[in-house]
Amino acid sequence: MKVIGAGFGRTGTRSLKAALELLGYGPCYHMSAVIAEPYRVRQWLDVGEGRSRDWDEVLRGFRSALDWPAAAYWRELAAHYPGAKVILTVRDPGRWYDSVSETIFRSALAERRLPLRRRVVRWLVARRAPDFALYPRMARATVIDPIFGGRIDDRAHVLDVYERHIAEVKTAIPADRLLVFDVREGWEPLCAFLGVAVPEEPFPQANERVAWQAKRPRRQLRLILRGR
């Protein structure tokens, strides 16, 4: 493991994933890996509910790890992989809250009061893809409850958690091991931190909010039809 991401989800992690892979730090573990391979949901559920912390098994085959749920365990990962550098992705707090509240948090809150249509979809997913059906429980166990105390509908609380998290990472990780990074800064600070040459191609720009909203229905249909 060469790079550990300590930034919350929706702070440009998808763009940074693409950037790290272009720089040779891939494959990069990201929530997209959990969604693509639902058996990983059970791994993180075991982590979140205290049954396992086998980081080498969870992250086997990856050279970097970003985004939730991995970023929820940045302290443990930084200690387990002492040679890895740490990148704390950040963005404007208000913009971050708008993004996370319209994607991850909206989905989590919807689980609390599902309409009939979504209950039917959940039942079908559970029948065809039982591992992925545990995703809401895994998200609560690794992110929603331990990080936000379940209060993801409280804007002031969520923003306070976000700000405190940034301060905690800056305090815990030595300055020479940490890059506080806004993906809008592009290649230069990232490449300088990693000690690699700046690529000629533009820095990747992924619209995570659009990607999330567009892929969710297709993902559910794939799970129902293919069972994975």
201: domain CATH number?
3.40.50.300
183 within 8 A of 15, measured Cβ to Cβ: yes
pLDDT at 224 > cutoff 50? no
Q: What is the mean pLDDT of the chain?
A: 88
Q: Average the pLDDT over each of 31-45, 90-104, 112-126, 214-228 and give the range with the smallest value.
A: 214-228
| Segments forming the whole domain that contains residue 25 | 3-226
Which residue shows structure tokens 């992690």? 13
pLDDT band at 121 (very low <50, low <70, confident <90, very high): low
Predicted local confidence at residue 226, as pLDDT: 52
DSSP the chain: --EEE-SPTTSSHHHHHHHHHHTT--SEE-HHHHHHSTHHHHHHHHHHTTS---HHHHTTT-SEE-STTGGGGHHHHHHH-TTSEEEEE---HHHHHHHHHHTHHHHHHHTTS--HHHHHHHHHHHHH-TTGGGHHHHHIIIIIHHHHTT-TT-HHHHHHHHHHHHHHHHHHS-GGGEEEE-GGG-HHHHHHHHT-PPPSSPPP---HHHHHHHHHHHHHHHHHHH--
pTM of the model: 0.87
**β-strand 28-29 against 85-89: which pairing, if any?**
unpaired
The answer to whether the CB of 64 falls within 8 A of the CB of 26 is: yes
Position 152 confidence tier, pLDDT thresholds 50, 70, 90: very high
Q: Is the pLDDT of residue 225 over 80?
A: no
- Domains of the chain: total: 1
Q: What is the pLDDT of residues 8-41, one digit of tens each?
A: 999 999 999 999 999 999 999 999 999 889 899 9
pLDDT average, residue stretch 94-120: 78
